[in-house]
Amino acid sequence: MSLFDHTIKELEEKLHNKEITVQDLVDTSYNRIKEVDDKVHAFLTLDEENAKAKAKELDNTKDQSQRLFGIPGGIKDNLVTKGIRTTCASQFLDNFDDPLYNATVVDKLNNEKAVTIGKLNMDEFAMGSSNENSSYTPTRNPWNTDHVPGGSSGGSAAAVAAGEILFALGSDTGGSIRQPAAFCGVVGLKPTYGLVSRFGLVAFASSLDQVGPITRNVEDNARVLEVIAGHDEMDSTSANIEIPSYTENLTKDVKGLKIAVPKEYLAEGVAPEVKESVLEALKVYESLGATWEEVSLPHSKYAVATYYLLSSSEASANLARFDGVRYGVRTENADNMIDMFKHSRSEGFGEEVKRRIMLGTFALSSGYYDAYYKKAQKVRTLIKNDFDKIFEDYDVVIGPTTPTPAFKVGENTDDPLTMYANDILTIPVNLAGVPGISLPCGFSENGLPIGLQIIGKYFDESTVYRVAHAYEQATDHHTKRPQLGGAN
Instruction: List all residues 6 or more positions away from 476 whose beta carbon is below 8 Å from its beta carbon.
Output: none
Q: Per residue in 386-407, is it b (16+ CB within 10 Å) or e — as a string?
A: bbeebbeebbbbbbbbbbbbbb
Instruction: List all residues 6 or more positions away from 41 whose beta carbon is below 8 Å from its beta carbon.
Output: 121, 137, 138, 139, 140, 155
Residue 191 CA to residue 458 CA, distance in Å, equals 9
Phi and psi for 189 in degrees, rounded to 5? -115, 130
152 counts as catalytic? yes
76 counts as catalytic? yes
Nearest to 208 by CA among 243, 256, 171: 171
Please name the helix (run of DSSP H) or strand (run of DSSP E) that holds residue 223, with its range, or none. helix 218-228
130 counts as catalytic? no
Residue 106 CA to residue 81 CA, distance in Å, equals 7
DSSP 241: -
Q: Which of 54, 76, 119, 190 is catalytic?
A: 76
Nearest to 450 by CA among 464, 462, 438, 459: 438
Q: Which of 90, 130, 134, 152 is catalytic?
A: 152
Residue 103 CA to residue 170 CA, distance in Å, equals 13
Q: Which of 29, 135, 153, 176 is catalytic?
A: 176
Nearest to 121 by CA among 108, 110, 137: 137
Active site residues: 76, 152, 176
